Chains A and B, each alone.
Chain A
Amino acid sequence: MATRDSLPGPDPSVRDRLRFARQSVGELVPTPGEGIVGYVFLLPAFVLFGVFLAFPIVYTFYLSFFRFNGVGNDTLLWIDTGFLTYRLTSIADLEFVGLANYAAMFSDSLFHQALFNTTFILVVQVPIMVALALLFAVALDASFVRLRGLFRTVLALPVSANLVAYSTVFLLMMQDAGLVNYLLTSVGLPAIPWLTSSFWSRMTIVGAVTWRWTGYNMIILLAGLQNIPQQLYEAAEIDGATRIQKFRYVTVPQLRPVLLFVFVTSTIGTFKLFSEPVIINGGGAPLDSTITIVQYIYQAAFIDFRLGYASALTYVLIAIVSVLSAIQLNVGGESDA
């Protein structure tokens, strides 16, 4: 039985002394009240969230109504205490232009091109990738497949490749005289102008993105598959369903929420496309047929330094993504318990 104060045991060791010291320090720190502790834990993240996320979101919106003339230099606040002077400058030198930035988009053909390119890639790439990911997941989920873990790892491997590094490899493989065309011609097919035709250069991007993300989505779908109760398949089997029917009437409906998640995240991902077109097509070549929205925003902001216009573009993009996600969630979420 514990007796608190009598210490017949050995003398405290160094580690004990350290522990006692820590306890004493701990006792000095006042314990915050019940409603306060949560704030204390939240504070660091909240401050950073406010400064680097919430503020930029708001400020981007603000900026989208201005023309950017340069980094701020105007003094907002000047404190001179004699010893110390403190000067708070405005963040940027701005000129209010109202909705002009938004209006400018209507006549900006490059923006239209970027919007078209991104939509094209989205419409072609997302369905192909999700279908492939689903097929791989179903194939790997089949009961007779051996070495499942190995195949899963191999297929998911591209996610670990550095975005820029793998884009470079695609750039090289897709050259007119590159590996892919070599393989095509060696089996008697015509070589394809992967990087020089507008259509095929977009398809190159589609291929690269699909290569990188299919395995990632496959893992998510695989987990979803494993959550489908086995009894459903057994019941379908008893009802005489074929393999295809089981897939159509059991797998797909059961997987609906997971498929939805995959669709939404892939769509958002496609709208964020930047590294691949920049590296593979050197910033939109040929003839701006691969320039994406984010790439165009980057150009407007950091090459032309039209920050106000770029901010407006950003908000249009955010709006598009939000609306698309909402539509997908609504359509896909129907009939979902």
Chain B
Amino acid sequence: MREETRREAVWQFLTYGFILLGAVTTLVPLYWIFVASTLKESEFLSSTDPRLIPGDSFLGNFGALRARENVQFVGHVGEMTQYVDLGPVYFAYDFWNLWNMGAIESSIFIAGVYTILSLLLCSMAGFAFAKYEFRFKQPIFYAILATLILPIQLLVIPLFLLVSQIGLTNSYWAIILPWLANPLGIFLMRQNMRSIPDALLESARMDGATEFQLYYKIALPTMKSSLAALSIILFLFQWNLFLFPLVILDQGKYTIPVAINQLVGAQRVYYDQIMVAATLSIIPIFILFLFLQKQFVSGILAGSVKE
């Protein structure tokens, strides 16, 4: 009996040790990004005395990052070319025009617009597949399903040619449009919408709802948690896109990954500035992650739904 409890204690100790080791290994690089962004380059690059306590150079590094000419990481107010005082709407319009977006705003803007539009498209397609009968439904669905296994980011070559032909090069739309009909999104929405009882839709039909009202008044509201989970998958997908934006976008429209890549690839690498950029790039997702932690987990799980 004694022996038993002693072994149990050792086992628990080992388990906790393992988990803690994993947690620390996970957190050190993240913490170090933050620490390094607050230090002078010489301070954190020193191999004899690496600092692990935040310093006070963050604003200085940030200033240096903003002052760079080849990469616009954070936006700034542009020159006021025209100003029409016609009330708040025009003020917003002017502000929009005046604000030169940097990589952070571009990334948030692109990922945000992409997420909203893709949610709309995927949920509509998923609704059609889940709740309607039409000819060629199965073949179309399986065609979309088959592309799930393809690394779709690999289709950059024809996409590049296509986008050039349409004249969308160096446009945000070139990054947003190609993956709007996200196969994973369509598949997940279809799976989840199958759980909406037919009687619910029929009931609404009897209540006088049109087919489109069924979609946005019944189906969408009941799918809230699935939509939240999917929105995280979509946002992260777009947020991490690197290859295609690298090919398509020109300086001044860079997204975060492309912008950081420019900093790394420059003649003289300013690591302090890179660390500020990395810190800034992690913050938005970090906040999103903390807020939507529960949906994030279910979102990842939704991605693993078996057929």
Contacts and interface: CB of A to CB of B under 8 A. Distances in A.
Interface of A: 26, 29, 31-32, 34-42, 44-46, 48-49, 51-57, 59-60, 63, 71-72, 89, 91-92, 132, 135-136, 139-140, 142, 144-145, 151-166, 168-173, 175-179, 181-182, 211, 214-216, 219-220, 223, 243, 257-258, 261-262, 265, 268, 271-272, 274-275, 278-279, 282, 294, 297-298, 301-302, 307, 310-311, 314, 317-318, 321-322, 325
Contacts of A154: 23, 26-27
Contacts, number: 284
Nearest to B12: A144
A281 to B, nearest CB: 11
Contacts of A302: 156, 160, 247
B278 A165 contact: yes
A173 B29 contact: yes
B228 to A, nearest CB: 15
Contact of A164 (B33, B140, B242, B297): B242
Given A52-B177, A136-B22, A144-B12, A57 B30 contact: no
A71 B157 contact: no
A46 to B, nearest CB: 7
Contact of B211 (A31, A56, A153, A176): A31
B172 interface: no
B179 interface: yes
B64 interface: no
Interface string B263-298: 011000001001101100110011011000100110
B45 interface: yes
A32 B212 CA distance: 10
B19 interface: yes
B151 A272 contact: yes
30 contacts: A38-B128, A40-B128, A41-B127, A41-B132, A44-B124, A45-B121, A53-B181, A55-B158, A56-B158, A57-B150, A57-B155, A59-B162, A60-B157, A91-B162, A136-B18, A145-B15, A145-B16, A153-B293, A155-B22, A160-B236, A160-B286, A162-B239, A165-B278, A168-B278, A173-B29, A268-B151, A279-B261, A294-B151, A314-B154, A318-B150
- 10 nearest interchain CB pairs? A38-B132, A177-B47, A45-B125, A38-B134, A41-B128, A164-B257, A56-B158, A52-B178, A49-B181, A56-B155
A42 B18 contact: no
A77 B162 CA distance: 17
B260 A165 contact: yes
A298 B257 CA distance: 16
Which secondary structure dominates where chain B touches chain A? helix
Contacts of A42: 124-125, 128-129, 134, 140
Interface stretch (B54-62, B81-89, B94-102, B141-149): B141-149
A271 B153 CA distance: 11
A52 B162 contact: yes
Given A155-B23, A160-B288, A41 B125 contact: yes
Interface residues on B, range: 35 or more
Contacts of A294: 151, 153-154, 243
B301 A162 contact: no
B296 A169 contact: no
A289 to B, nearest CB: 19
Given A162-B256, A220-B300, 9 more contacts: A42-B128, A44-B124, A151-B19, A162-B239, A162-B260, A162-B282, A164-B261, A215-B26, A311-B157
Interface of B: 11-12, 15-16, 18-19, 22-23, 25-27, 29-30, 32-33, 36, 45-47, 50, 121-122, 124-125, 127-129, 132-135, 137, 140, 143-144, 147, 149-162, 164-165, 177-181, 183, 186, 210-211, 213, 215, 236, 239-240, 242-243, 247, 256-258, 260-261, 264-265, 271, 274-275, 277-278, 281-282, 285-286, 288-289, 293, 296-297, 300-301, 303-304, 306
A258 B304 CA distance: 8
A322 to B, nearest CB: 6
A66 to B, nearest CB: 12
Contact of A71 (B161, B257, B258, B277): B161
A140 B297 CA distance: 15
A41 B30 contact: no
Contacts of A136: 18-19, 22
A164 B19 contact: no
Contacts of A214: 22
A167 to B, nearest CB: 9
